[in-house]
Amino acid sequence: MVQSGSGRLPLEWFRDRLATLATMHQKEIAIAPLLKENLGLQVTVPHGFDSDRLGTFTREVKRYGTQLEAARQKAIVGMELTGHAIGIASEGSFGPHPAMPFLPSNREIVLLIDRGNDLEVIGEAISTETNFSHKQVTNLEEAKTFARKAKFPQHGLVVIANADANGITKDKDLIIKGITSEAQLIDAVQWALKQADRVHIETDMRAMHNPTRMKIIAQATEDLIAKLQKTCPNCNTPGFSVADRLPGLPCGLCGTPTDLTRSIVYRCQKCQHREEVLFPNGVETADPGQCPYCNP
């Protein structure tokens, strides 16, 4: 990776400052030690924080806004609960991989807001390593087969009775979350089969029941740290990171600009100083197969 002319984070910027991590799913296990070790931040989890009112994976409460808006809202609520000037939150999403749509993927963001310095930096990780899955089953054997593929019982499961075709119910009492033992699974499926012929079963994506996801959250935290550690060469504010990718990598045969990235732009949130780095992937020409003129 080509570096911009950024500086190194002054050690005292975050050291021993108090930060609130708004979670009720034990994400501090993945996030707090990394921030302590690398930035010196003291991360605490607020009492009485209810992230479920900002949306649930099991859809009985719709998510507040986009993934980024939901994370930002959590961080703000956390800061309000504790009065700390630094708020941290994470938010995950699951769906087809943007570059490989036939593969399921997990995108995690970990956001840090530093109110004292008017700063917001977003760490990100995307991975195809996820057990994210769901199924409608009609008997216990099918449920057990699903469970084996979903890495149960190390990963938790959710059973929903009387759900619609999309696995949605508005009735909280028809959702059993946090199933982590064979006995719980049998009880839940048998109970749900009494309510309807088909039972919706899915992976529990809450971090404390999903070690695979916890690992991706740690990767997003590492990305956040790497971004914070780069400072603006003009004003020294942390988080001097890539704000834009500009297309136009020239075709190797005829020189026509292609849609491939020619340069990346780093920008400072505080002073708007920008730096453009050419050929970030180390290649200066595009394959003619990507050229709109050679290969229309």
Contact range with Zn ion by CB under 5 A, out of 43-51, 63-71, 117-125, 269-277: 269-277
Contact range with Zn ion by CB under 5 A, out of 76-84, 133-141, 197-205, 243-251: 243-251
User: Distance between CA atoms of 77 and 85, rounded to whole angstroms?
Assistant: 12
Overall size of the chain counted in residues: 296
Position 294 contacts Zn ion (CB under 5 A): yes
> Nearest Cα to 18, choosing from 118, 91, 112, 144?
112
Contact range with Zn ion by CB under 5 A, out of 98-106, 177-185, 214-222, 251-259: 251-259
Q: Compute CA 250 distance to the chain's CA centroid, rounded to the nearest angstrom.
A: 33
Q: How does DSSP classify residue 137?
A: E
User: Distance between CA atoms of 186 and 176, rounded to whole angstroms?
Assistant: 12
Residues in CB range of 123: below 8 A, 6 or more apart: 109, 110, 111, 112, 220, 221, 222, 223, 224, 225, 226, 227
Residue 236 beta carbon to Zn ion: minimum distance, rounded to whole angstroms: 7
Residue 235 beta carbon to Zn ion: minimum distance, rounded to whole angstroms: 3
Determine which residue in the list 232, 249, 260, 264 makes contact with Zn ion, applying CB under 5 A: 232
Residue whose CB is less far from Zn ion, 85 or 253: 253
Residue whose CB is less far from Zn ion, 215 or 270: 270
Residue 174 beta carbon to Zn ion: minimum distance, rounded to whole angstroms: 52
Provide the 3-class DSSP secondary structure of residue 87.
Answer: strand
Contacts with Zn ion by CB under 5 A: the residue count is: 16
Contact range with Zn ion by CB under 5 A, out of 37-45, 73-81, 132-140, 253-261: 253-261
Position 268 contacts Zn ion (CB under 5 A): yes
Residues in CB range of 33: below 8 A, 6 or more apart: none
Binding residues for Zn ion, rule: CB under 5 A, are: 232, 234-235, 237, 251, 253-254, 256, 268, 270-271, 273, 288, 291, 293-294
